[in-house]
Structure 1
Amino acid sequence: MSDTARAESRERARELLSTTPVLDGHNDLPWALREQVGYDLARRELTEDQSESLHTDLGRLESGGVGAQFWSVYVRTDLGGDNAVTATLEQVDCVRSLLERYPERLEPARSASEIERARELGRTASLMGAEGGHSIACSMGALRGLYELGVRYLTLTHNDNVPWADSATDEPAAGGLTRFGAEVVREMNRLGMLVDLSHTSADTMRDALRTSRAPVIFSHSSARAVCDHPRNVPDDVLGALPDNGGVAMATFVPKFVLPEVAEWDARLDRYLIERGLHPLADEDEAWRARREFEDAEPRPEARVSDVADHLDHMREVAGVDHVGLGGDFDGTVFTTSGLGDVSCYPELVAELLDRGWSEQDLAKLTWHNPIRALRAAEEVSERLRRTEPPSIATVERLDG
């Protein structure tokens, strides 16, 4: 395709995003602010260009056509028990501080109607999602507390198992969801909190789909048939989304996009671990080690077209009503070429336009599908709250 034709597609993409912007499923800015500046927001002024430090700032959100964002209130799994709960609360506090600091640009949102209201005000609707069941420390009370603070999805696991659910990247222990895990899903349905199945094992995905009475989401996962990584979604699970009403939100993380990058990244992780470094570490020593590894073994490059391949496949298997976008910006060390920060969504939309995606289908992908799933979860909650009391289940009582 000529440069002129692609430029025309980009301009058309920007026009589309001006009316139906991106509702992105996952951005780790709060954790980046914790790691880089200890939540001292004045040191990362988001009204200024932060491209040397972050994938995200307010100017790039606007130029990327991002109308709503789930900010991840993620904490690492080595912060277990009460420490995980405390750190998650600090992450929630960071998001609330951002909203107070930039009230003309960011609008708090806890429901589908509040997302749409923020759009009418010309602000980026800001929601929260907790990434990993360790953030509730096996406590239904903690789960309800996060909901009351505005958290609207919980990813059931992160990279490691929790006592009641298996992760995609850990050794199977529960075989999916335990009895307590199923009760967590049911309580999330009662609350109106979306069940997020990114990071979970395929058996956990299947158990959650059988259990959930509301739509589920994958906040940042792509198609396993295109890139055979355990973080991606198998076709049988994608195929079950129409009956559930859920949405799989494709991610841009290179190792989940391109098989060659997945293989390279696994070798890099081993290299870091052998040197006593966490694969997600952000300190200078970790970056030096990554540069040493990449100098010796150049990194393969995932491209915008590779992400589009995932979306084509996900649309074919799940249907256009069940796909969305979850970039995982500021939560990944490496980015896909052409999708390097939150300003780049028009590039992906342009690629999909050139592949024949209709404007109606693109509007579903970027905006309407996740809002529909959240609204449906709210409707399920309204019904269940009339008939079911809050769960008082414990791991000991159900799984002991």
Structure 2
Amino acid sequence: MPASTPPADLADRITALLERHPVWDGHNDLAWEAREQAGYDWSALDIGAGTSGRTHTDIARLRAGGVGAQFWSVYVPSDLPGSAAVTATLEQIDAVRRMVRTWPDVFTLALTADDVEKAWASGHIASLMGAEGGQSIDSSLGALRMLYDLGVRYMTLTHNHNTPWADSATDDPAGHGGLSGFGVEVVREMNRLGMLVDLSHVSADTMRVALDVTEAPVMFSHSSARAVCDVPRNVPDDVLARLGRNGGLCMVTFVPGFVNPHVGQWRAEAAEAARGRGIDPASYAAFSAFSAEWETDHPVPPTTLDDVVAHVEHVRDVAGIDHVGLGGDYDGSSGFAPGIEDVSGYPKLLAALAGRGWSDADLAKLTSGNMLRVLHDAEDVAERLANERVASTVRLREG
């Protein structure tokens, strides 16, 4: 069922809001789509001319959605072995940087919170990067530091599989209670650098240990509320409640299986069927192919905009209005709810929230104000820690 169109006065209100407080989204996988579809050839995947039907993201739709800042995911599969994951991550970083250079009138590479605000002042879309999974550093603090120097401003501690030092939400626990001793050092080094600790994809135990260790605010770049949709990828209420004390942020994702319990159950059943065929559900490529086949005889239940609204409001109610944001996961999933099928849909979500009584001040925190504060705070912590300790320059590995 199509999402209803907001009345003209509400639409005008949202447009005016987004001009002052653009969306800063936590997670978009366009770079991986560029790899898969075009071998990173931005002339073949021309987001300037428009890529509707091929991707969820292009320049016109980013503008229509009021997006002013984007964490571009430099994702690589979590089952890539060792150094291959590092190489692929470097290729992803290169792709994002070349995208920015290809459309310099649209994008600006942002390395700091101040850079984001400068981009907004010039009418550009601030482009930041987030590494999706600790596999990207191959258990090396030196590699972590180099990713930071190349512009990566958050790292998700795991993706679908455990790393040697951190447990994933979708893998069997490795027996070190969430984070190993080396994993604790990774979090501390990220704090020292000013790289945000992203807890999407990690196990609940990993979330809790990371919150015990970190001196800077954490983030969830694309996760929703487990109390609303009980799947391992979502955040339990006790962890959401700790974000208020930590100063962190849960950026609510729009992924159907993480926002709608019926789709979550569908995914669980598909995962069980995949295991019966010898397919690891944590393997993104293999499980995606299997799911497309499974869907032929097992239709996916519908997801609605109201499902996403429920998560945004639950995170607000438990964590507080200062600790909620948006992390759509466009080009990293499929089947988004009507009205938010692609990056042009953020105004529809904001209008739905405004219709439920959200003030402009609260909407402004949701769109980008909270994320701006979190990055500023992480930078402040890094400045303090830089004077207190210097991490070893020796290449450290787990095991």
When normalised by structure 1's length, the TM-score is 0.94
Alpha-carbon distance change, 276 to 32 in structure 1, aligned in 2, over 3 angstroms: farther
Counterpart amino acid of residue 240 in structure 1 = R
2:303: which partner in 1? 302
1:390: which partner in 2? 391
1:180: which partner in 2? 182
Query: What is the CA–CA distance in structure 2 between the aligned matches of 1:102 and 1:277, rounded to whole Å?
Result: 40
Whether contact under 8 Å (2:31, 2:72) holds in the other structure is yes
Query: What is the CA–CA distance in structure 2 between the aligned matches of 1:273 and 1:330, rounded to whole Å?
Result: 25
Query: SS where residue 334 of structure 2 aligns?
Result: coil
Query: What is the CA–CA distance in structure 1 between the aligned matches of 2:259 and 2:301, rounded to whole Å?
Result: 11
Whether contact under 8 Å (2:225, 2:236) holds in the other structure is yes
Whether contact under 8 Å (2:79, 2:161) holds in the other structure is no
Whether contact under 8 Å (1:277, 1:286) holds in the other structure is no
1:349: which partner in 2? 350
Counterpart amino acid of residue 56 in structure 1 = T
How far is the alpha carbon of 1:92 from its aligned partner? 0.3
- What do the CA deviations read for 1:187-210 (whole angstroms, capped 9, x no partner)? 000000000000010110000011
How far is the alpha carbon of 1:395 from its aligned partner? 6.1
1:95: which partner in 2? 96
Query: SS where residue 43 of structure 1 aligns?
Result: coil
- What do the CA deviations read for 1:301-330 (whole angstroms, capped 9, x no partner)? 111111010111111110000000000000
Query: SS where residue 250 of structure 2 aligns?
Result: strand
1:162 equivalent to 2:152? Answer: no
Q: How does 1:244-263 map to 2 (within 5 A)?
A: 244-263=246-265
Q: Identical aligned pairs, as a percentage? A: 56
2:242: which partner in 1? 240
Please, which moves more after superposition, 373-382 or 383-392?
383-392
Query: SS where residue 265 of structure 2 aligns?
Result: helix
Query: What is the CA–CA distance in structure 2 between the aligned matches of 1:225 and 1:195, rounded to whole Å?
Result: 23
Alpha-carbon distance change, 102 to 4 in structure 1, aligned in 2, over 3 angstroms: closer
Please, which moves more after superposition, 175-184 or 262-271?
262-271
Number of residues of Structure 1 aligned to a counterpart in Structure 2: 395
- What do the CA deviations read for 1:217-267 (whole angstroms, capped 9, x no partner)? 000001000000111111011000111110110000000001100111223
2:24: which partner in 1? 23
Please, which moves more after superposition, 271-280 or 329-338?
271-280
Q: How does 1:86-125 map to 2 (within 5 A)?
A: 86-125=87-126
Q: How does 1:14-163 map to 2 (within 5 A)?
A: 14-163=15-164
Whether contact under 8 Å (1:247, 1:323) holds in the other structure is yes
Alpha-carbon distance change, 93 to 361 in structure 1, aligned in 2, over 3 angstroms: same
How far is the alpha carbon of 1:18 from its aligned partner? 1.5
Counterpart amino acid of residue 121 in structure 2 = E
Query: What is the CA–CA distance in structure 1 between the aligned matches of 2:20 and 2:243, rounded to whole Å?
Result: 26
Whether contact under 8 Å (1:183, 1:393) holds in the other structure is no
How far is the alpha carbon of 1:286 from its aligned partner? 6.3
Please, which moves more after superposition, 183-192 or 292-301?
292-301
How far is the alpha carbon of 1:134 from its aligned partner? 0.6
Counterpart amino acid of residue 326 in structure 1 = G
2:332: which partner in 1? 331
Query: What is the CA–CA distance in structure 2 between the aligned matches of 1:70 and 1:162, rounded to whole Å?
Result: 22
Counterpart amino acid of residue 388 in structure 2 = T
Whether contact under 8 Å (1:35, 1:282) holds in the other structure is no
Whether contact under 8 Å (2:25, 2:67) holds in the other structure is yes
Query: SS where residue 343 of structure 1 aligns?
Result: helix
- What do the CA deviations read for 1:117-156 (whole angstroms, capped 9, x no partner)? 0000101000000000010000000000000000000000
1:380 equivalent to 2:381? Answer: yes
Whether contact under 8 Å (2:142, 2:394) holds in the other structure is no
Whether contact under 8 Å (2:77, 2:284) holds in the other structure is no
Query: SS where residue 344 of structure 1 aligns?
Result: helix
Query: What is the CA–CA distance in structure 1 between the aligned matches of 2:49 and 2:252, rounded to whole Å?
Result: 28
1:218: which partner in 2? 220
Query: SS where residue 343 of structure 2 aligns?
Result: coil
Query: What is the CA–CA distance in structure 2 between the aligned matches of 1:3 and 1:229, rounded to whole Å?
Result: 29
How far is the alpha carbon of 1:278 from its aligned partner? 6.9
Whether contact under 8 Å (1:26, 1:329) holds in the other structure is yes
Alpha-carbon distance change, 301 to 7 in structure 1, aligned in 2, over 3 angstroms: farther
Query: What is the CA–CA distance in structure 1 between the aligned matches of 2:324 and 2:288, rounded to whole Å?
Result: 35
Whether contact under 8 Å (1:65, 1:345) holds in the other structure is yes
- What do the CA deviations read for 1:14-40 (whole angstroms, capped 9, x no partner)? 221111010000000001111111111
Query: SS where residue 129 of structure 2 aligns?
Result: strand
Query: SS where residue 387 of structure 2 aligns?
Result: helix
Alpha-carbon distance change, 98 to 273 in structure 1, aligned in 2, over 3 angstroms: farther
Query: What is the CA–CA distance in structure 2 between the aligned matches of 1:18 and 1:5, rounded to whole Å?
Result: 18
Query: What is the CA–CA distance in structure 2 between the aligned matches of 1:276 and 1:7, rounded to whole Å?
Result: 53
Query: SS where residue 107 of structure 1 aligns?
Result: strand
Q: How does 1:257-296 map to 2 (within 5 A)?
A: 257-271=259-273, 290=291, 292-296=293-297
Q: 1:195 aligns with which of 188, 194, 197?
A: 197
Counterpart amino acid of residue 338 in structure 2 = S
Query: What is the CA–CA distance in structure 2 between the aligned matches of 1:132 and 1:72, rounded to whole Å?
Result: 10
When normalised by structure 2's length, the TM-score is 0.94
2:312: which partner in 1? 311
Whether contact under 8 Å (1:209, 1:216) holds in the other structure is yes
Q: Which runs of 5+ in 1 are unaligned?
A: none
How far is the alpha carbon of 1:295 from its aligned partner? 3.3
Q: Which runs of 5+ in 2 are unaligned?
A: none
2:233: which partner in 1? 231
Whether contact under 8 Å (1:64, 1:344) holds in the other structure is yes
How far is the alpha carbon of 1:335 from its aligned partner? 1.7
